[in-house]
Amino acid sequence: MGKDKRFLGAVTQERITDLEIFKLLYQSMGGEIKLFLLTEIDDVLTPLEQNLIQCFPNLKIVGSQVLSESVNEDWLDEINQTGANLVGLYLRNPTEEVIWLAEHKNKISAVVIGLGTFFQIYSEKYTELPPYVQEMGVEGLHRIMEHPDECWEIYSKNIPDFIWQILTDRGALERRILKLFSKKY
């Protein structure tokens, strides 16, 4: 969300995508990643696994699971027994990913990270965004135009919060107005 507030004149950090994080992890570990894949969307796992093996030759996929509503301790133990050193999580809603990660903190012995875009691109559901879209901070708008039905459900839950934050952050609006009027044309 910080990136999207940039248009209001907010100062933001440099951003790194989950695709870049995975590639950096893969390189830094010499390709010795033992990956376990978790998602709530069952049709992404097969193409995802095939494409990952092709793109990352040393990668070991030690398991994959479609999440159900009831995650029990036995199920988490099974993940731990695979020897995975990285668990990639993809839920449709990024907010739900954060909640899931918090609820299962310290229950999985591997590093667990949300890899939503990573799953979508390597399962060939989405295409990688052009750099200019990322630089402008309009990824959400681009995704809605590309996949309106799929994205509408997700964004309809998150956008009201985002709009409320913009409306209640008076300083951000003032910075944007000042920035607009201080430009030399």
Query: Quick one: pLDDT at residue 149?
Result: 73
For 8-33, the pLDDT digits (tens) are: 555 556 667 788 889 998 999 888 89
* Co-location of 27 and 88 in the same domain: yes
| Global pTM value | 0.70
The span from the CA of 119 to the CA of 91, in Å, is: 10
With CA atoms as reference, report the closest residue to 109 among 77, 68, 66.
77
Structural domain for 63, as ranges: 18-122
CA distance 31 to 23: 9
Q: Which of 102, 122, 142 is the last residue of a domain?
A: 122
Separation of alpha carbons 72 and 54, rounded Å: 33
Cβ pair 46, 62 in contact under 8 A? no
Number of helices (H) and strands (E) in the chain: give both, helices first.
9, 4
Domain co-membership, 112 together with 135: no
- Span 76-113, pLDDT tens digits: 888 999 999 999 999 887 778 888 888 888 899 999 99
**So what's the pLDDT on residue 2?**
46
- Cβ atoms within 10 Å of 153's Cβ, excluding its own: 10
Residues 45 and 88 in one domain: yes
Check whether residue 26 and residue 107 sit in a common domain. Answer: yes
